[in-house]
Amino acid sequence: MVLFRRFLGDVLRSERMQRGLTLREVSAEARVSLGYISEIERGQKEASSELLASLCAAMDLPLSEVLRDVSSAIALEEVALGLRPVAATPITAARTATSDVVASAA
């Protein structure tokens, strides 16, 4: 089973560590308890959109980047579990007659 909260926690932990931040630092900046952030990072708790925005702001991290990384990780897991064909492409770009670039979902 693919759990969004597990992948979200993995991405948040990875980003926090890459930035050299401790749970304590993120907790103080986001004004969220250290224990709760830890549970989110371990995939044990669901983060509300407001909480997720606070965590991203505390780490100076765009929310869109977090969601993109989580989406990519979930897509890979779906392929590994056979829930999605390997040939599926999330986004393709095509040129129109006016030379505009249009993105479309596959």
pLDDT for 41-97, tens place per residue? Answer: 999 999 999 999 999 999 999 999 999 999 999 999 999 888 877 765 555 444 444
Helix/strand/coil for 95: strand
CA distance linking residue 88 with residue 79, whole number of Å: 9
- Nearest to 6, CA basis, from 55, 73, 57: 73
User: What number is the average pLDDT over the span 6-33?
Assistant: 97
